[in-house]
Amino acid sequence: MSFNNLSGNISMQLDGMVSLKILYLSYNNFIGKIPTKLGSSMVLEELVLSNNSFQGTIPDQILSYKNLTMIDFKSNILSGSIPLDIGNLSRLKTLSLSSNSLGGKIPMSLVNITTLVRFAANLNSFTGAIPLGITKFLSYLDLSYNDLSGSIPEGLLSPSQIVLVDLSNNMLKGPVPRNISPSLVRLRLGENFLTGEVPSGTCGEAGHGLTYMELEKNNLTGLIPPGLSSCKKLALLNLADNQLTGALPPELGNLSNLQVLKLQMNKLNGTIPIQISQLQQLSTLNLSLNSLHGPIPSEMSNSLVLLDLQGNNLNGSILSSIGNLGKLMEVQLGENKLSGDIPKMPLNLQIALNLSSNQFSGAIPSSFADLVNLEILDLSNNSFSGEIPPSLTKMVALTQLQLSNNHLSGVLPAFGSYNGKSVVAAVLIAIAAAIFLVGMVTLLVVLISRHYCKVNDERVQSSEGENLDLPQVLQSNLLTPNGIHRSNIDFSKVMEVVA
């Protein structure tokens, strides 16, 4: 009876089904408490009530159905705690309680269910420690988005049958367990308070299955271990937003299956190894907000969709072959020390091209006009000069054009409105003009007032050479689909565009 529009309470309606073994009522509009009268013979094996509006607690009477192999109560409005004696369901294979309002501690009795393969209780409010030995028989454990505390039990990741462990978004402390089973495919420990180093011998055995390793937003320190290169199946490595130091190990270039590499917001230094940038499967490379220096590697993966190197100390020019990266949709190179000629960009660029806060000079390339799908172009805080190319008006998808803090002159091209979207640069310049006018009027009033009041102990600086603090509202963070697009807009400089 799943995937219907059934509604109301369930009390005694099903008790007359003497031989009821399987009950699927998911994706309906049922309300009230979890039903407990589910066949007088008590032979129920599978109870699936997910994606309804059941509320109240998990009734102890459910534990009377000793043949249960599956309980799926996810995506309801259940509260209270898990019954302490749930471990008496000795045949249970799947227990799914995700997306409710359950709390309290996770019962130790779960450890005793030798048949339990899958336990998911994410998106709740469980507290306390992770029960010791909970993965002794489990293959899939998801306790993410709770309020669990304490350390991760040392043997949690070592059982030979474990496939997935997700403990992300909790309050766990201590180190990452070093003994990781070769059967583990996905490890998610992000957004906790874990400390210590990234385990160096993570994939010591040949044929290790680890494919996804996500340890972001913790307090991990030390170097990125070169030994991670032994994880040959690794497709995603996310160590972002930690306190990692040292250079990027070139050995990561041996991860031939790596598709996503996120190391942003650490304290990494040194240069970017070309062995990493050349990884053929790599689609996301985010090394932003570190202290990397040297040039951008001369070769990049043809699979790249996102290239984010902003907020480092990179110098030199942009790789000349970037235009050949046909899958590239977003380029973030702001806040570096890049200079030289800007090569033609991939025509598929769509989300953003950020070259702000670098050392580019000369004319704005007219080739940008070919980027007809691009939504954000940020060239602010450079030394571009000359006129704004009229051809930029052909960028019909453009919603944000940042040109502030350059040396541009001439008239502003007529940007139109395409599909209800208008280029924000025109709006920003209009606002800048208004702010400039208001500021001049205010300054004039102050000067006149001080003149007539004969205030001689204070002098107002002339408009030439003054260094007035800009209002905080002029400092903006522009959101893009892939995170924060940083831009510092100085409207006093924007006026140079229309001078």
- Mind giving me the DSSP string for 410-434? SPPP---EETTEE-HHHHHHHHHHH
| Structural domain containing residue 436 | 305-457+470-499
- What per-residue confidence (pLDDT) applies to 390? 93
Give pTM, 2 decimals. 0.83
- 49 belongs to a structural domain: no
* CATH number of the domain within which 357 lies: 3.80.10.10
- 88 belongs to a structural domain: no
Per the structure, the count of domains in the chain is 1
Q: What is the tens place of the pLDDT at every residue in 287-342? A: 999 999 999 999 999 999 999 999 999 999 999 999 999 999 999 999 999 999 99
Instruction: Using pLDDT thresholds of 50, 70 and 90, give the confidence band for residue 418.
Output: low
Q: Does the pLDDT value for residue 51 go beyond 90?
A: yes
* CA 473 from centroid of its chain's CA atoms: 26
- 463 belongs to a structural domain: no
CB 137 within 8 A of CB 114: yes
- 403 belongs to a structural domain: yes
Mean pLDDT computed over 460-480 = 28
In one letter, which amino acid is 213?
A: M
Q: Does the pLDDT value for residue 403 go beyond 90?
A: yes
Q: Mean of the per-residue pLDDT values for the chain?
A: 84
Mean pLDDT computed over 243-261 = 96
- What per-residue confidence (pLDDT) applies to 269? 97
Q: Does the pLDDT value for residue 12 go beyond 80?
A: no
- What per-residue confidence (pLDDT) applies to 39? 75
Across the beta sheet with 103-105, what order do the strands follow? Answer: 103-105, 125-128, 147-151, 171-174, 193-194
- 404 belongs to a structural domain: yes
Alpha-carbon distance 352 to 358, whole Å? 16
Mean pLDDT computed over 255-273 = 97
CB 374 within 8 A of CB 402: no
CA atoms within 13 A on the CB side of 458: 8
Q: Does the pLDDT value for residue 200 go beyond 70?
A: yes
Torsion of CA 59, 65, 66, 70, to 10 degrees: -80
Instruction: Using pLDDT thresholds of 50, 70 and 90, give the confidence band for residue 103.
Output: very high
- What per-residue confidence (pLDDT) applies to 444? 52
- What per-residue confidence (pLDDT) applies to 434? 38
Asked which of 155-164, 194-203, 434-443 is least confident by mean pLDDT, the reply is: 434-443
- 314 belongs to a structural domain: yes
Instruction: Using pLDDT thresholds of 50, 70 and 90, give the confidence band for residue 422.
Output: low
- 156 belongs to a structural domain: no
Asked which of 103-112, 302-311, 480-489 is least confident by mean pLDDT, the reply is: 480-489
Instruction: Using pLDDT thresholds of 50, 70 and 90, give the confidence band for residue 493.
Output: very low
CB 204 within 8 A of CB 229: no
Instruction: Using pLDDT thresholds of 50, 70 and 90, give the confidence band for residue 15.
Output: low
- 340 belongs to a structural domain: yes
